[in-house]
Structure 1
Amino acid sequence: MNAHDPEVHSLLGPYVLDALEPAERAAFEGHLRECPACRDEVADLRPAAAALADTPLSPPPALREQVMRLAAQTRPVRRGARPASRPASRPSRRLWVGAAAAAVLLALGGGLVATQRDDTMTAADVFSAADVHTHEMPTKMGKVRVGMSHEMHVVAVDGSAMTDPGAGMAYEVWWAAPGHTESVGMFQDDESVVVPMGEGDLWITMEPKAGSATPTSAPLLSLPATSL
């Protein structure tokens, strides 16, 4: 990839999160010198990524793969084209970085609750999105509301109608595929959480508040990604 490749726009998010290989970084920085729109986006997104700078932990090898997978879901802007409405394009970029930041924090902290993300990305934003698909599902711990936005590439889980999981316990959200489960967030009975879109089934289990590396209880909810 070089500075003139149309796909170079898709490197914007990983660049802000410092998740590029040296050659990719050089290509994108060359592109930045010629693209005022991307320079503006980088300036806007820096505060969302800055929250990651305070963590003392080193990212695991799988982190870049997670961030790049999210980047691949963004729609690249074609060279020479400007978005029809810049105000409408910037929030979706900020939401993408917020989702990637949440993935970074989860990857660094294991069961860490994904609360340190761009404050523009809330469950309310997801549930009010024009393309949201909302499901209200019963569980033995009460009703849970799930909303998915393809445009934002995130899923919101609203647990405000669920009951207290008990002392020392919390609800954990997973993407479960054959042979693999990935923890993407945790919440209490009066909370909501926004997680990146994934593959397989969306699971909610009851786990210790510190989080679990793999589910330790049967899913309270299992919802295929294809039905979201």
Structure 2
Amino acid sequence: MTTADLHTATGAYVLHALLPAERAEFERHLAACDSCTQEVRELAATAERLGLAVATAPPAHMREQVLRQIATVRQEPPQTSARGRAGRWTRALPRMALAACLAAAVAFGGVAVWQYQSAQDARDQARRTQQQAAELAAVLAAPDARTSTGKLTDEATGTVVVSRSMDRAALLTSKLPGLPDGKVYQLWFDDGGQMRSAGLLSTPDTSSATLLDGPVGNASGMGVTVEPAGGSDQPTTAPLGLMSFPA
């Protein structure tokens, strides 16, 4: 290799992409070249950080995807003409770049998938929250909205708002006390004495407004019970209160 070739072989050296004779020649050059020594040190440190970045396992399908894509990459034919030793490692650069990209993909693949999924989950949750807020506002502002108020505890009250045109209902609570860990308020539609889950009410503030899950249908009223975290298929405690829907 020429002197110019030696100065640009640092990446190939760090990736172990030099032929044995070229590697020995470069190491002799390295012993006398401070700038190449520094560059090799920095590139090696970068490669080490890539390895340390593996915090989670890559997804199972990554190996199959990489193998499928490798199978479609056109391979270079053997070189039969002599162009000098510099040409050999120069032609290897595309393969070295591919190897580096694959190494980075493996190193960061698991982390990137986890980060992407976390961001996607956050976006989905934000969209659901915005949609629920819009639906709640629509019910409360509906022209045919009707209200009914009742007591839930000695101090807490609940006001149910029903829009028959939208077939939806909302509950406004005031002074509903917090619950111990492992307990949650659950809302129910009263379908002629048969209770149908209308969703969960998270630990309330001083006052809160909640859109009931599902259509009103033929329900004549609603109730609130205290259930284990996650809710129940049917009430397991006596209702705190039952409120009839306004006619």
- The verdict on a shared fold, with TM-score over 0.5 as the criterion, is no
Q: Which has the higher helix share?
A: 2
TM-score (norm 1): 0.43
Looking at CA atoms only, which structure, 1 or 2, has the larger radius of gyration? Answer: 2
TM-score (norm 2): 0.40
